[in-house]
Structure 1
Amino acid sequence: MDESSMQSLQAALEQRRREGLYRQRRVTDGAQGPELVVDGRRMLSFCSNDYLGLAADPRLGEAVNRGVARYGVGSGAAHLISGHSAAHHALEEELAEFTGRERALLFSTGYMANLGVLSALLGRSDTVLEDRLNHASLIDGGILSRARFKRYAHADTDALAGLLREGEARCLVATDGVFSMDGDIAPLAGLAEQCSAHNAWLMVDDAHGIGVVGPQGRGSIVAAELGESDVPILMGTLGKALGTAGAFVAGPEVLIETLIQQARPYIYTTAMPAAIAEATRASLRIVLDEEWRRERLQGLIVRFRRGAARIGLELMDSETPIQPILLGSAQRALQWSDRLYREGILVTAIRPPTVPDGAARLRVTLSASHTVSQVETLLSVLEETAAELA
């Protein structure tokens, strides 16, 4: 790379700094939890997706150890070569039962799952319609599929209906179940109704719903009283409420077999370690059995929202653990995040292009492992921050 190219890259980085859009990593130490060592300093954390507090649950650690003792550390190959273990297979069957679907298929990440589904099912003669606030992986999957790609206004079933009435050939509608930056839940019943009326497939990325939303944490589709016939394609992740790593797609037999044959991120990727599959099997049992985790989480959500309203903070319309505080500019969001950091509280500033221009925010996320006292501490520091930076 020549000197002028390096200078061009450096100039672009400096421009990001000036606009308040520069991203920096922080180094954490220790297990995920409400208290986290960040860059050598103990902090109170409100920015993890470990919604049920399972990432550091000792039962998952014991399951990993059993898995390592039986299968070793690495899977050694892709699923279609020699990497598909008995643990992977059992987890797929249990995920299918958990979601009420015929079959499930494991992927190494949620990003890869979304890319795999959309590129395997769609081509140049097809159409994909997506919510404007979908996760980047759905957007990139739609582009990668080479299908005609259109977006409808956020959570607007009428806008979707207008696009569907254009009568394209094969059409797939994709949406987040719980939107990762706003925390609201998609109007799945209305979307399913429109898809049924226009013979379109409906795909739901329920990464932030699985484990948290619906009866026994079975997700936003079940919460909307819909099933596989209404939403034939479900993607869920394992690294959020379930506390492990990886992802899955669940749906009819023919869908899963098609993905096995045609989804390139599945075919050409080494399988996740079997020990992680064993830990996820343990996690699934906890999710089903320990309803108190969701009850505790809902109580903390209500407490936080009431306290934020008292302070006068602008929240999004969210009943989920994702509780964004709207601040507007990227610079203002960074100011608030930096002040909280100085007070020992870790909350990330979310800025464009992750969210639209003018919609930068603090993305507060709550966990069943937080205590009431910790939430009150957060509210107290937010009140002081609001007074100081108003």
Structure 2
Amino acid sequence: MDVQVKQDWMSIRRVNTTAALTTAYKEGLTGFTVASRVGKQITLQEGGVYTEFVSCSYLGLETHPALIDAAHRALDTCGLHLSSSRSAMRPSYLPQLEDLLGQVFRGSSVAVFTSTSSVHLGVLPLLGSGSLAGYPVKKRVHWLMDKTAHASMQVLRGILEQFGSVSRVEATDAESMAAALNECSNKGETPVLLIDGIGSMSGLVPISELSQQLESAQGYLYVDDAHGISIVGRHGAGYAFSAVGHSLPTNVILAGSLSKAFGGAGGFVVVSGPQDVAIIHASANPLIFGHSIMLPMLAANVASTQIHLSEEIDVLQRRLWKNVSLLDTVTNNQLLNAGIQSPVRGALFETEEAGLQAARALRDQGMLLFPVFYPIIARGKAMLRFAVSADHSEQHITLLGAALQALSRNGTWTPTNSELAPV
């Protein structure tokens, strides 16, 4: 019998991955081991002080005195950890954090997880099974996975298929979405679109328009806004929540991160009502069988949320966008994402070797970044990813701009601000 076995995604990735990332590790162009830091200046274990454009702490809150003091106090009062699932025992910081986040996402309810990936693992099966009272499923779900959705959602395909079919779509392509929604309608299925709000490498997604499109199809929009949290919106509620007017539509679920611009650690989900938070607390696998966030980080999360609910968050946001705007100016709007409200910028290279050569040149000038290759971007190409922070100085930004312009002049980098094609 001739049985054809479909090659799994990991094998496909392994076969198509080159030695570029290994080379970057060996040459000290990524995988940096940090011994100490002051602001955006880091000292590496092997020596040398560099300006980093790697950290996703876009507002600099990870070194804020209020967060550090809160972590120290938690250590003194409760130690490192309460080693228990939240259903058995939980620190006082956990309900306090969820209540405060409820004030940030006014009119909605919030449940906290140990990571954004754990949010996906806990919430999506509940959504797919029709277990969430506020998000009923009429027959069977049909998952519409945007081609640029984060890997932490894409890797769950095998789990998602237990609840319904999975199709890859281009959420920003009207024809792709119309065809997918029409198929769901013909089969009597409930469409659920899984997308990123702000991509970790590129782009913004039209949240409000997609929410309305899914509502017309009696479907749901699930947004991973990990990179959008804190950097925009009232109280730093993020890109996705601000895009819908700071009022969560009844067909939208938001997943967010406490580990990036928020400055702490963990993830959370925002749903339309408290009844679904109760279901999530009782039934989400990572909350039943996993532990809560380490105590010092929980306390730091509470301190960060208090900053978000103060005027200080507005000051930090303005500093961030001033730096982002400056980088666009000194690079003549030639970087990926130029001109859009994202703290991530990228320089694209037609070959992996050109990207490695550019990373070497920038390191030689005291600047560290994140070089990426397949499977993050198309096979054979490279991108240097720059994460801009409110903590960067004007000099940091102008030196980076001058270095990139020099790479353009010597032919190492041919600027383009075109979008990354989905892998």
TM over 0.5: same fold? yes
| Separation in structure 2 between the aligned mates of residue 22 and residue 133 of structure 1, nearest angstrom | 26
Task: Give the AA of the match of 2:180.
Answer: L
**1:47 deviation in Å?**
1.4
| Separation in structure 2 between the aligned mates of residue 158 and residue 105 of structure 1, nearest angstrom | 35
**1:136 deviation in Å?**
0.5
Q: Which residue of 2 aligns with 1:331?
A: 353
Q: Which residue of 1 aligns with 2:418?
A: none
| 1:115-154 aligned within 5 A | 115-122=121-128, 125-146=140-161, 147-154=164-171
Matched, 1:113 2:119: yes
Task: Give the AA of the match of 2:376.
Answer: T
Matched, 1:186 2:184: no
| 1:200-349 aligned within 5 A | 200-226=219-245, 227-251=247-271, 252-288=273-309, 289-290=311-312, 291-309=314-332, 313-317=334-338, 318-349=340-371
Match of 1:115, SS?
A: helix
**1:151 deviation in Å?**
1.6
What are the ranges of 5 or more consecutive residues in structure 2 without an aligned counterpart?
1-12, 26-30, 130-138, 414-423
Q: 1:16 to 1:190 in 2, by over 3 A?
A: closer
| Separation in structure 2 between the aligned mates of residue 137 and residue 99 of structure 1, nearest angstrom | 23
Q: Which residue of 2 aligns with 1:69?
A: 76
**1:235 deviation in Å?**
0.7
Q: How high is the TM-score relative to the length of structure 2? A: 0.82
Match of 1:127, SS?
A: strand
**1:261 deviation in Å?**
3.0
| Separation in structure 2 between the aligned mates of residue 268 and residue 305 of structure 1, nearest angstrom | 46
Measured against aligned partners, the alpha-carbon deviations of 1:244-281 in whole angstroms (never above 9, x if no partner) come to: 11111121223323322332222211111232121111
Q: 1:309 to 1:160 in 2, by over 3 A?
A: same
Give the conservation status (yes or no) of the 8 Å contact 2:171–2:177. no
**1:170 deviation in Å?**
2.7
| Separation in structure 1 between the aligned mates of residue 128 and residue 215 of structure 2, nearest angstrom | 18
How large is the RMSD of aligned CA atoms in angstroms?
2.3
Give the conservation status (yes or no) of the 8 Å contact 2:21–2:372. no
Measured against aligned partners, the alpha-carbon deviations of 1:354-381 in whole angstroms (never above 9, x if no partner) come to: 1233553111110000111110111122
Q: Which residue of 2 aligns with 1:28?
A: 34
Give the conservation status (yes or no) of the 8 Å contact 2:207–2:244. no
Q: Which residue of 1 aligns with 2:10?
A: none
Q: 1:267 to 1:216 in 2, by over 3 A?
A: same
Q: Which residue of 1 aligns with 2:417?
A: none
Q: 1:277 to 1:307 in 2, by over 3 A?
A: same
Matched, 1:163 2:170: no
Give the conservation status (yes or no) of the 8 Å contact 1:119–1:141. no
Task: Give the AA of the match of 1:353.
Answer: P
Q: Which residue of 2 aligns with 1:6?
A: none
| Separation in structure 2 between the aligned mates of residue 171 and residue 13 of structure 1, nearest angstrom | 32
Task: Give the AA of the match of 2:270.
Answer: A
Give the conservation status (yes or no) of the 8 Å contact 2:215–2:251. no
Q: 1:113 to 1:63 in 2, by over 3 A?
A: same
- The count of residues paired between Structure 1 and Structure 2 equals 375
| Separation in structure 1 between the aligned mates of residue 275 and residue 69 of structure 2, nearest angstrom | 36
Q: 1:355 to 1:17 in 2, by over 3 A?
A: closer
Q: 1:15 to 1:133 in 2, by over 3 A?
A: closer
Q: Which residue of 2 aligns with 1:4?
A: none
| Separation in structure 2 between the aligned mates of residue 20 and residue 66 of structure 1, nearest angstrom | 40
Give the conservation status (yes or no) of the 8 Å contact 2:97–2:302. yes
Q: 1:225 to 1:119 in 2, by over 3 A?
A: closer
| Separation in structure 2 between the aligned mates of residue 48 and residue 361 of structure 1, nearest angstrom | 16
| Separation in structure 1 between the aligned mates of residue 362 and residue 84 of structure 2, nearest angstrom | 44
Task: Give the AA of the match of 1:160.
Answer: M
Match of 2:346, SS?
A: strand
Q: Which residue of 2 aligns with 1:5?
A: none
Q: How high is the TM-score relative to the length of structure 1? A: 0.89
Q: 1:56 to 1:370 in 2, by over 3 A?
A: same
Give the conservation status (yes or no) of the 8 Å contact 1:174–1:203. yes
Task: Give the AA of the match of 1:243.
Answer: G
Q: Which residue of 1 aligns with 2:132?
A: none
**1:327 deviation in Å?**
1.6
What are the ranges of 5 or more consecutive residues in structure 1 without an aligned counterpart?
1-11
| Separation in structure 1 between the aligned mates of residue 230 and residue 16 of structure 2, nearest angstrom | 40
| Separation in structure 2 between the aligned mates of residue 85 and residue 61 of structure 1, nearest angstrom | 18
| Separation in structure 2 between the aligned mates of residue 31 and residue 230 of structure 1, nearest angstrom | 43
**1:163 deviation in Å?**
0.7
Q: Which residue of 1 aligns with 2:66?
A: 59
**1:208 deviation in Å?**
0.8
Task: Give the AA of the match of 1:188.
Answer: I
Match of 2:341, SS?
A: coil
| Separation in structure 2 between the aligned mates of residue 14 and residue 149 of structure 1, nearest angstrom | 24
Q: 1:29 to 1:20 in 2, by over 3 A?
A: closer
**1:162 deviation in Å?**
2.2
Give the conservation status (yes or no) of the 8 Å contact 1:32–1:55. no
**1:97 deviation in Å?**
1.7
Structure 1, 151-160 or 293-302: larger mean CA deviation: 151-160
| Separation in structure 2 between the aligned mates of residue 194 and residue 14 of structure 1, nearest angstrom | 38
Task: Give the AA of the match of 1:274.
Answer: L
| Seq. identity, % | 25
